[in-house]
Structure formats: structure tokens, C-alpha cells
Structure 1
Amino acid sequence: MGYKDVKFPENSLFLITGGAGFIGSNLCEALLRMGYSVRCLDDLSTGKLENIQPFFENENFEFIEGTIVDFNTCNTACKDVDYVSNQAAWGSVPRSIEMPLKYEEINIKGTLNMMEAARQNNVKKFVYASSSSVYGDEPNLPKKEGIEGNVLSPYALTKKVAEEYGRLYSNLYGLETIGLRYFNVFGRRQDPYGYYAAVIPKFVKALLNDEAPIFNGDGSQSRDFTYIENVIEANLKAMISSSDVQGEAFNIAYGGQVSLIELFEELKGLLNKDVSPIFGPERVGDVKHSNADISKAQTMLGYNPSYDFYAGIRLVTDWYKSNLK
């Protein structure tokens, strides 16, 4: 693990918003294993209680059921907190196109509420989830911070606004913020159910049930799939980073490029299945190709991802085989 040497002061308290979600619950788990105190804030609109159920037995774990849309809840959650990892947001490009007002409320107002609550409670570091979607229609690969195009969805716009607020709160108020532009994160506890499920859990679930997965497009589109352990590393290293990097946003990925057809063939082999996919229309707002330049995060955060796509996909396939009912 790329974060095994990361150390915080002994009595540090961490707030993970969206802590019952996929990424948030993995962050909670990692910090608890390291022996730190963790407070989890989640309204369970997309997160699941079962993701954090095992942590309730740990005396260092506290759960607050509440929403980041309510400032008083954010303020209460930030009391005595040293480090915030703000993972609370609604994902999914297609859903944001259908529900732009909801995304404005949760992803923009909620993130601003959290930054303001963190500022008022003198939080040391505020790390928040951004997204590769901020690159929009910028065609060049690999994606490099500072070279962004026009965003293609309300979801992408909410992440762009979060980055602007992060920069502003660092420059104006001295809150040390760091944005992490995630590139197609996958791993244990990622939800395979529902219309808006991410592609890897959706494909795994279909294959385990001997069903044909549906491709949005011809399958040639490519992604920089990023295993969850790399994302945990990025969050923890962002929390211990120098004050010099406050207000910045960083690509968080492995730096690879895998097409959906390649992904499908790899999963077929790992699961020993012989199924042919169904090809459907491309999704509105989707980016065709995604690949990250991670040199900025490597240089300024000491980010050094340990798991490439193939190592991660083997681990997550084993997890789903054991955990998918």
C-alpha cells in the first residue's frame, strides 16, 4: 500500500463526508485500521449503512446521519475535526443531465457548506473529491491540469465550481483545500445495482449472472481506471501535504488507458464466462477517451500509485465473487 508510511498526530480526528459511500467507506476503513478516530457524515441517499456496519464496533468510529445541504449539520460535524475528506456528492453524468437542480443543491451548495464549516472550525486540511469530467471537450491526451475544455454536463460543472471555491477559500480565508480529480475509480463496495451504476460493477454483475452487458457505444471508448487503494493514498497524502499546495487540484489515476472492450475481455477471462455484449447508443455528455498525466500529484503530493488496472481488477473481481448475492 502506498500510504503505509503516512503518519498523523496521534489524537487526530478525521471527518469523512459521504462516508457510507463507496470511496468514503474505504477511507473510513483505512483510517480506522491505522488507529485514528473517524467521524462519518452521510444522509444515506446514495451511501449504504451496510458499508459502515462493521465499523460501529470500533470505539474510534462515530456516525452522523445528516446532509451536507444543511449548514448546521456541517458545522456540528466539523467540531474538533483536524482533517476533512469531502466525498459527499451525487455522481453520474446522465443523472445530472436529468436532475440539474438536485446537483446544484448537493454538489455545489453542499460543498460550499462544508468548506465554510471547516473554515469556522479551524480544520487543518480540507480535501475534496473533484472529477476528470472537468476536462470536458478538451481533446488532448493525457489530460493535464490547467488545460481544460468546456464541461459537458451539470455534474462536471459542479466539480469545476467546487475547484473554484477551493481555490478561493485557500486564497481568501487560508483554508488549506486540495481537490482530487478522480479518474474512473473502482474497487470493493462499489454498488453494481441501479441504472446509474459504474461500468465495472455493472459488467461484473451481468457476467456473474450470465447476462449480456450493454455498452454505451461501440466499446472503443477508453478510461484511466483507478483502483480504490490509489485513491486512499491520494487522500491521505493530500492531508499531510505542504501548505504550499493549498488551493490546487490534482489528477488522481494510475496513468493508464483501457478500452471498454479490453475491460470486458479481461473480466470474461477472470470470471470464466463466454458472453457477448449488446451495443447501444452513446450516452449524452460522455467523454470518449480519458487518460491522466499524474506528474503534478507525484511531484507535489508524493503520490505514487501502487495498483495498476490489472492488479486492481483481479482484486475487485475476487471481492465481487465473494460478496455479490
Structure 2
Amino acid sequence: MRGRVSCWLVWCRDFGRRVRSLVSFWTSTFPFENRGQNLERRGFVMEPRSVLVTGGGGFIGKHLRPLLERQGLNVVSLDYRPAQPGSDPTCYQCDITDSQEVEAIFRTHRFEAVIHLASILPTASRQDPHKATKVNIAGSLNLLEAARRFQVNRMIYASSVSVYGTQPASSCVSEDQPSAPEDVYGAAKRYVEVLGEAYQLNFGVEFLALRIAMVVGPGTISATSPWRNQIFEYLGRAPQKEVLIP
């Protein structure tokens, strides 16, 4: 089975509902094993099923963790930023370009899946393409390799519509649209998609890439365009206003 790609657009108006849909999509696409329940019936005590979320301190990661926990999953998150005071002890500060740091987390926890959100975003990628390539490609490779070595069942990867390059404003992009990235960020995202497919074909690590579009909403911290965040912060504070995005 080849790796799969899906397109997603997340916007401010009903972000919570769309993240819940995203969780439902992930868990239905790659249903987590019920072997823990089976063993419990036979008298064994199993630890909760564990999922690793990289980029857990980011906008999507902060919304995703509680939703996964309500699905009965034990969530471990990592981010390059230090954990906030009072954070869950399973929130780690980690540089994913350091394979030893990544391996230490995989040795500490037994993961059934990895949801890989960590990334250097487009503006920062243009400012420092070397760092962006190191994080977005080499960091992703470290996670794929750890998943292979520690027999993690699957990885779900936050790719981007940037893999399509510039498209006419009037066009509707489908999953069959040829990829034509035009910047370092898009090229790195496409590279990891291909790399993930190779790991699935050769090593059995199930891989799904979601080509996510613009992610905005109250509380967004984005390296893409600060002015856009200000607009949505303002609109988000006015519940009587309806945000319409074509």
C-alpha cells in the first residue's frame, strides 16, 4: 500500500470543529489497535496507548492534544521551545535534528503512532534555508528512522499545499494535481512525503501526509504573516461577526 496524501483547509470560523474532524479522520484512517483491551480482558494490565505529537507547542498541537486524550489516548508531545511551567510532564523540549534526543524519547515511551507537526515555516525557511532544510528534512528522517527502529505502526505527517507551488486563484486544487514546489519549504515538504512513502514500502511504517492549507484562528502564532494573525485575532474577539472564506 502506497503512502496517502489528503488536502485540508483549516480556518478561523469553526477551527475547533475542524480539528475534531481531523482527529476523527486520523483515527478512522489509521485505527489504533485494540490489543490493550483484549489483554485487559485476559487479566493483563496494559499502559494507555501512546501517541507522539511533534510540534506540540504549536497552534494545531495545542488543540490536538486534548482531543486525542478524549479519544482515550496517552499523548506525549515535544517541541523545540521549553515546556511551560505547570505543563504535563510528558511535554518534552527536544531538537528533532538531534537523533540521540529523539531516540531517548522513543526509548522512554512505547508509541503506536507519531503525528509529526514540527516544522520551520515558510517565512523562516526563506530567511534561513539551511536551518529549514535541516529541521524539515533531517528532523523528519530522524523521526521516521526512530519509528522504524522502535516498531511504531504509523506516522501522520503535516505536509502543506506549498508542494503544489503557485496556482491560479480561480483554480481548485485536487490531490491529483502535480507537485511543483517553488520554495525551500514546499520542496522539503514534498521530499518528506516521498521519504515517508519509501519507509512505508520498504519498512512497513504506515505513512499518511495531510497537505494542510492556511491555518488561522485566535491564538495563532505564525511565522508566515503577522498582519494576518492580527486580523483574525480581532475577528475572533467579536463572536457576532461571521468570517467568510471562499
Shift of 1:198: 5.5
Matched, 1:36 2:36: no
The structural deviation recorded for 1:177 is: 0.8
Which deviations, in whole Å up to 9, do the C-alpha atoms of 1:149-185 show, x marking residues without a partner? 4312111111011111011111121111111100112
Which residues in structure 2 correspond to 1:282-293 (within 5 Å)?
none
Is 2:246 aligned against 1:202?
A: no
Amino acid at match of 1:67: D
- Change over 3 Å in CA distance of 1:109–1:4 after alignment to 2: closer
RMSD of aligned C-alpha atoms? 3.1
Map of 1:71 onto structure 2: 99
When residues 101 and 171 of structure 1 are mapped into structure 2, their CA distance, relative to the original with a 3 A threshold, is same
Q: 1:124 to 1:149 in 2, by over 3 A?
A: closer
Q: How many residues align?
A: 205
- Residues in 1 aligned to 2:106 and 2:53: alpha-carbon distance in whole angstroms: 10
**TM superposition shift of 1:20:** 1.1
Q: Which amino acid aligns with 1:97?
A: R
Cα 1:54–1:167, aligned 2, differ >3 Å: closer, same or farther?
Answer: same
Work out whether 1:135 is the aligned partner of 2:164.
yes
Distance in structure 1 (CA, Å) of the matches to 2:236 and 2:111: 45
TM-score by length of 1: 0.56
Give yes or no for the alignment of 1:83 onto 2:129. Answer: no
Q: How far apart, in 2, do the equivalents of 1:64 and 1:109 lie?
A: 19
Contact 1:137 1:149 in 2 (8 A): no
- Residues 182-191 or 19-28, more deviating: 182-191
CA distance in 1, matches of 2:174, 2:93: 37
Contact 1:22 1:189 in 2 (8 A): yes
Cα shift at 1:95: 2.6
Q: 1:51-81 deviations in whole A, cap 9, x for unaligned?
A: xx6652xxxx612211100111222223311
SS state of the match for residue 109, structure 1?
A: helix
**Contact 2:83–2:93, Cα closer than 8 Å, also in 1:** no
Alpha-carbon distance change, 119 to 130 in structure 1, aligned in 2, over 3 angstroms: same
Q: Determine the structure 1 residue equivalent to 2:211.
A: 181
Question: Contact 1:127 / 1:178 at 8 angstroms: preserved in 2?
Answer: yes
Give the match for residue 56 of structure 2.
19
**Match of 2:90, SS?**
strand
Aligned to 1:104: 133
The residue type equivalent to 1:126 in the other structure is M
* Offset of residue 34 of structure 1: 2.9
| Residue of structure 2 in register with 1:264 after alignment | none
The aligned residue for residue 297 of structure 1 is: none
Residue among 137, 141, 147 paired with 1:118: 147
Partner residue in 2 for 1:320:
none
CA distance in 1, matches of 2:69, 2:239: 32
Rounded Cα–Cα distance in structure 2 between residues aligned with 1:179 and 1:125: 11
Alpha-carbon distance change, 110 to 4 in structure 1, aligned in 2, over 3 angstroms: closer
The structure whose RCO (Cα within 8 Å, separation 6+) is larger is 2
Return the letter of the residue paired with 1:24: G
Equivalent positions of 1:231-250 (< 5 A) are none
Structure 1: distance between partners of 2:206 and 2:218:
30
Q: What secondary structure is seen at the aligned counterpart in 1 of 2:173?
A: coil
Offset, 1:202: 2.6
Are the equivalent residues in 2 in contact too, given 1:138–1:149 (CA < 8 A)?
no
CA 1:202–1:150 in 2, change beyond 3 Å: closer, same or farther?
same
Which sections of structure 2, spanning at least 5 residues, go unmatched?
A: 1-19, 37-47
Which one-letter code corresponds to 1:98 in the other structure?
Answer: Q
1:149 to 1:31, Cα distance in 2 relative to 1, 3 A: closer
Shift, 1:36, TM fit: 1.9
**Identical-residue share of aligned pairs (%):** 27
Instruction: Give 1:123's aligned amino acid.
Output: V
